[in-house]
Amino acid sequence: MRKTNLRRIGKFRCIRCPSSSKHIDIKRIMVKLERFSEEKALVHEFGKYILEKQDSALADNADAVFNIAISGGSMNQALYEGLVSDKDIFPHIKWPQWRIFFCDERLVPFEDPQSNYGQFKKIVLDPLVHQGDQLNLGPTVYTINESLIGGGETANKKIAEEYASLLPASFDLILLGCGDDGHTCSLFPGVEYNYLVEEMARKVLWCYNSPKPPKDRITFTLAVVADAKNVAFLVKGPSKKAIMHDVLIVKNSELPSVLVNEIVGAKVTWFLDDTAGALIPQNC
């Protein structure tokens, strides 16, 4: 059974917001909704949002660090476009003060195209080193222990435990995606995955039955997401239209992305393009 403290019952109320940012009342919990008709504007505003969170975490203190966790999939390209290739944003990113973690990771070697770290390195880290015709110092990136991959159940559990031990007490920012089925991190909907969404004591779990390949992964639990100072979802494309309606309007509490809204509330911002938000009324 899912823990009842993850659920909040309330009546949906949709309010009009005067600014360009809209708000949706999810069972009396406000989450922020940012919608864009142009892809370029979406990634630029996403980059600006990340920069603002960096600046408030660092507050011009050269010794401070910005603890950020990122997701895989389409997130990498958005990070490249919003932070590395955006000439207005790139000069303001203090990469050496960034500590980057992965919300979930597939248990494959880094060279495998399914590796979230491998894709992040290829799409974001490698290009940023020489961006702007200069040598840039990069962030500190926390990967899983690759040497344990392929070691079976005991090794997989150890990968999760070790990764949990590296995490900061709380993240300044967690960047999430949302799958067509409403999953986020590697927290999937359905009873066979309840062991993942119900865990609130451990920070990282081995997911042994992912419905999306590869079946072995590690994932943050909702306990980590709940403690974050800020959480942002980035969702693009027409394949996300139906699930965005289920998440933001129907608010189906069986969906892990809805659970994030419920437990994190006002600290959550959703960045949507118009195709993903096609079934979300414009006036809410």
Ligand X SMILES: O=C(O)[C@H](O)[C@@H](O)[C@H](O)[C@H](O)COP(=O)(O)O
Residues that bind ligand X (CB under 6 A): 71-75, 103-104, 116, 177-179, 183-185
Residue 103: closest CA among 234, 239, 242, 265:
234
CB closer to ligand X out of 75 and 84: 75
CB closer to ligand X out of 22 and 183: 183
CA angle in degrees (0–180, nearest 5) for 10-11-17: 115
CB closer to ligand X out of 72 and 118: 72
Give how far Cα 230 sits from Cα of 31, 71, 175, 277, Å.
11, 14, 9, 22
Min dist. Cβ of residue 245 to ligand X (A): 16
Min dist. Cβ of residue 192 to ligand X (A): 17
Min dist. Cβ of residue 78 to ligand X (A): 8
Cα–Cα distance for residue pair 284/278, rounded to 1 Å:
13
Min dist. Cβ of residue 69 to ligand X (A): 10
Residues 248, 26: contact at Cβ < 8 Å?
Answer: yes
CB closer to ligand X out of 118 and 179: 179
Give how far Cα 282 sits from Cα of 15, 23, 30, 249, Å.
11, 11, 17, 12
Min dist. Cβ of residue 217 to ligand X (A): 7
CB closer to ligand X out of 90 and 120: 120
CA angle in degrees (0–180, nearest 5) for 78-83-89: 140
